[in-house]
Amino acid sequence: MTEVMREKLVIIGSGPAGWTAAIYAARANLEPLVFEGAGSRTMIPGGQLMFTTDVENYPGFPEGITGQEMMMAFRKQAERFGTRIITEDIVKVDLSSYPRVLTSSGGKTVEADTVIIATGANAKWLDVPGEEELARTGGGVSACAVCDGALPFFREKRLAVVGGGDSAMEEALYLTNFASEVLLIHRRDAFRASQIMAERALEHPKITVVWNTVVESVSSREQDGLKEITGLRVKNTVTGEEETLEVGGLFVAIGHKPNTDFLEGQIDLKDTGYIRLPDGGRMATNVQGVFAAGDCVDDYYRQAVTAAGTGCMAALEAERWLAHGGIEAEAGAAVS
């Protein structure tokens, strides 16, 4: 018979939002249990920052810090206050009854009074040869210009952005502050971005649009024991002609997918899969005692510092919800 664990608070996810929620909850004596995830090819415990080499825009680190170091520090701080950690995924939830029932990839069953969902989002990648290795090792491939574009590695280089939506326009425009030239590569002959954003990109003197083109592979060379990007092998979708574009960096801006598949039918989700919050200024979902934080909610900012902030908010809300009687208080209010 499977043993059932009974918990006051379970946090699902281990990025900046999850660990910040754990720190606040542990200091409030909620004894949080964190399911940090088992890891996959594109997502590992610690979230997207585990694929980021240098973080220079998080307050408190004037010399910068690697994403891995930052997440290990977050984790250690949560553990210091008594957070317990299980390195498994939550693969199934039943939020229709109380307590909420969670099932892990290792077969564990957990009953939880409150839940904070902080599962993050996966950047969509091109899935072409050379891309993943350079993204993992800081060799010049990124899915976030705001996070990485200002790094010395990318300055005064010819950079490429792939995409045709507003995010791609924003990434390209942001990179013009540091690049010598920005190639905006799109597979069609027109952008799907809003007109104003498309016009800004098209009119910028540093941006060159490469229409009807897809990336076939990413080339690199070894420098001081590490590989760094040298160019892109691209193909014209109309003529079929292939060529190599020399670039010093590639930014993939084709969207993100929130890690919320396991929540379908259990909680209110937007059409894009992001968790919908009934009150935009709060982290409470439509299910009582279930809160959400980080990139599984945020489809706009997607920054470590904003994720951490929402993790703090979710923990404070969970604490107050429990302190005010939790589900029993909600039931009483409904009867009255």
- Active-site residue numbers? 144, 147-148
Whose CA is closest to 74, among 301, 312, 321, 261? Answer: 312
Phi first, then psi, for residue 221 (nearest 5°) are -135, 160
| 58-76 residues labelled b (16+ CB within 10 A) or e (exposed) | beeeeeebbbbebbeebbe
Q: Residue 3, Cα to own-chain centre: how many angstroms?
A: 32
Token digits of residue 311: 């993790």
Using the 8-state DSSP alphabet, how is residue 22 labeled? H
Interstrand relation of 249-252 and 242-246 (parallel, antiparallel or unpaired): unpaired
Burial class (CB in 10 A: 0-12, 13-18, 19+), 176: middle
Whose CA is closest to 200, among 173, 163, 182? Answer: 173
Neighbouring-strand partners of residue 279: none
Radius of gyration of the chain (CA): 22
**In Å, how far are 162, 171, 197, 251, 323 from 209, measured between CA atoms?**
10, 13, 14, 14, 56
